[in-house]
Structure 1
């Protein structure tokens, strides 16, 4: 095997095994040199929690030579999201050889896929205006105004293009808000590449490896997106045109106008459709269970093994049952451990499994109140399973989330803004957090 393929395969594996929530990569088995990557917009920037996708083409001379990188989140070539990320897809970076820089900044074989993605992510700063050469230390008043105007329109378009439009496409939502009839789902028992999401488009095959990831992350950050829309709409006038920057020109700019009312309507509808999709999994699952399909048999077996495992466990007390005897819907009842903040709690958590599991990951939701900085207001837990293809691993991850103490701060996992502010605030705020957590524990008994 070519050494470049061996090196690239190792790098892909390392990134996918890492705990970094900001970067994901994928490729088809038949073409390892063609890599797709998605970068999550960094917190506290106008790109916050946006989904920015890139393609990377690696030659046979890799790592001696850098790959060709192209930005895909450009609204079909109409949106320039950064002075260094063009509407046509070009990414200007010294290490890629697409921009002149110091000799120390040029590509070397010591660099690799991860360092490229981190370099691109670093462009998504809180003040991207300064990325344009000659504007790094702008002090003129008109430059200061442009900096603010640039951040405002990037935030709007991050929400509109990288998040809302992407999810609308995944959910077959038309521009007028109607929904296209869903195509017949692929039979998970006869799929040739069950772990490679493919979509047929006009006779061609489109590779969509991040569809499920973006849907799950959208549900994590949905409340934060709404909060951002509310905050940003107060900074502009509805219908106000974007300001063109000095370095922008026709065909390579970020143009449009602020329509936050429309964004709010669209993002709420996306969330509704995701809930409809999740509910539809149960109905699909019942049909597959009746057919005794491979996916249904696998989930039934995993359910039985998981029940037995927790029966033998001394570290946690919980019950698991199938909802309506459907192996695609698990109901978990967790009993709070004595002498902890969860003491006396009785929490019901539902896991909905997709007929395409594990290509599509299960969606978990607390059915009982639980005040926690890693659980959204409507009960969506923010977690990553160590073994995504095992139902028990998802339950373990949720339990660890509930029981964790003195967790390291990570803004990417803070999906309840109020709870996060209290938990990571002053000593008195932490006490208030604990009081609210205890109240949710007590309220959980009312749902038993």
Structure 2
């Protein structure tokens, strides 16, 4: 999927990203005092439509700072909310994703009014759905809570004109096969939110060919009770956007094989290790190399701010990427077996030698970009 139109920067002053830095010291900024009254007013505006709310009662002009991201790239002013601070965590908004509904059997519902069939769990395809005032108010409150209590390794950028749709960049935690991977989720809160759960889709699955986790399907579907995407729906209106993101993040474990309910931690240790190898390889191939290449060539589906976050963090994680690949070069050409399905993985074999070359090439390109931007600012 590619975006056909350039990103729209018309709402640069809105709060559009929430995140934290990669470095050990965590920096949390205060919430602007003027932001809270705007949120409170939204709860009293149930009679207004979304367009009016978005224009007069939204985030515009009210800034809440979250933890910072280390700045390696000399970022342009239009990519960040302010040039007064060294690094900010909000950026410009972007247009909707193109329509690309999943067609897996048994996972669709019919929209008779439009004659189209959508996956009930998939935010892609619901671009024209109108947000309710109550949904908007609740989402605003949830996002404000995230500015006060940000999640480690999570960055958020909202979609233009619709605060109920947003992009989430989740960085794989250290000590796991996902370490340093950039996992891009599209989230939409339906009009019934919080009575109904958000719709969530993992966007970077290499054209629906890669499953990073027993709970992350290659279609992009995230299988969680609280999302209503498992056999035991468990959503509660007491849950929030933060609750959903924490639950998704908890799936990025050091032994993802045991996320499958059929296996316990005492079962098949050799299969657990084999599955982690597959996940690590595909994380570096798809969630690192493919993701950074897309940022550099302009084909990334992430908003500009999240692209900058990825480029910055790529340089910070680079040594770990290279070390992980170099330690497994001897596996190049061997079968990539997925033990969850007892078959050779679709990708065929491990490509560590190719990954090493790709990583080094990408490092050079990012360094060249940093140098070019520095020269432009002089």
What TM-score results when the alignment is normalised by the length of structure 1?
0.51
Q: For the structure 1 residues 153 and 206, does the alpha-carbon distance in structure 2 shift closer, same or farther, using more than 3 Å as the test?
A: closer
1:281 aligns with 2:373: yes
1:130 aligns with 2:258: yes
1:119 aligns with 2:247: yes
Give me the whole-angstrom Cα distance separating, in 2, the residues matched to 1:206 and 1:157.
19
Give me the whole-angstrom Cα distance separating, in 1, the residues matched to 2:302 and 2:180.
24
1:242 corresponds to = 336
C-alpha deviation, 1:211, in angstroms: 0.2
C-alpha deviation, 1:215, in angstroms: 0.5
Give me the whole-angstrom Cα distance separating, in 2, the residues matched to 1:106 and 1:156.
33
- 4+ residue runs of structure 1 moved beyond 3 angstroms? 16-21, 205-209, 246-250, 253-256
Q: For the structure 1 residues 39 and 138, does the alpha-carbon distance in structure 2 shift closer, same or farther, using more than 3 Å as the test?
A: same
1:70/1:91 contact within 8 Å kept: yes
1:51-200 correspondence to structure 2 within 5 Å: 51-101=182-232, 106-137=234-265, 139=267, 143-172=268-297
1:231-380 correspondence to structure 2 within 5 Å: 231-233=327-329, 236-247=330-341, 255-285=347-377, 326=378
The one of 25, 35, 41 equivalent to 2:172 is 41
Q: For the structure 1 residues 220 and 13, does the alpha-carbon distance in structure 2 shift closer, same or farther, using more than 3 Å as the test?
A: farther
Query: Which secondary structure does the structure 2 equivalent of 1:89 belong to?
Result: coil
Give me the whole-angstrom Cα distance separating, in 2, the residues matched to 1:159 and 1:200.
18
How many residue pairs get aligned? The number is 247
Query: Which secondary structure does the structure 1 equivalent of 2:338 belong to?
Result: coil
C-alpha deviation, 1:29, in angstroms: 3.3
1:12/1:26 contact within 8 Å kept: no
Q: Note the residue ranges of structure 2 that are not aligned, 5 or more in a row.
A: 1-44, 46-132
Give me the whole-angstrom Cα distance separating, in 2, the residues matched to 1:71 and 1:22.
16
Quote the RMSD (CA, aligned, Å): 2.4
Rg larger in structure: 1
1:57-106: per-residue Cα shift (whole Å, max 9, x none)? 111111111011111120110101111100001111000111134xxx81
Give me the whole-angstrom Cα distance separating, in 1, the residues matched to 2:158 and 2:349.
36
C-alpha deviation, 1:137, in angstroms: 4.3
1:29 corresponds to = 160
1:22/1:41 contact within 8 Å kept: yes
C-alpha deviation, 1:223, in angstroms: 1.2
Give me the whole-angstrom Cα distance separating, in 2, the residues matched to 1:17 and 1:171.
32
Give me the whole-angstrom Cα distance separating, in 2, the residues matched to 1:232 and 1:96.
37
Structure with the greater relative contact order (CA < 8 A, sep ≥ 6): 1 or 2? 2
Query: Which secondary structure does the structure 2 equivalent of 1:85 belong to?
Result: coil
1:132/1:247 contact within 8 Å kept: no
Q: Note the residue ranges of structure 1 that are not aligned, 5 or more in a row.
A: 173-198, 286-325, 327-448
Q: For the structure 1 residues 116 and 248, does the alpha-carbon distance in structure 2 shift closer, same or farther, using more than 3 Å as the test?
A: farther
1:256-309: per-residue Cα shift (whole Å, max 9, x none)? 321212111111111111111111113433xxxxxxxxxxxxxxxxxxxxxxxx
1:219 corresponds to = 315
2:138 corresponds to = 7
2:13 corresponds to = none
Give me the whole-angstrom Cα distance separating, in 2, the residues matched to 1:244 and 1:225.
22
1:158-188: per-residue Cα shift (whole Å, max 9, x none)? 111101111111112xxxxxxxxxxxxxxxx
- Whose helix fraction is larger, Structure 1's or Structure 2's? 1
Give me the whole-angstrom Cα distance separating, in 2, the residues matched to 1:47 and 1:156.
9
1:329 corresponds to = none
Q: For the structure 1 residues 59 and 270, does the alpha-carbon distance in structure 2 shift closer, same or farther, using more than 3 Å as the test?
A: same
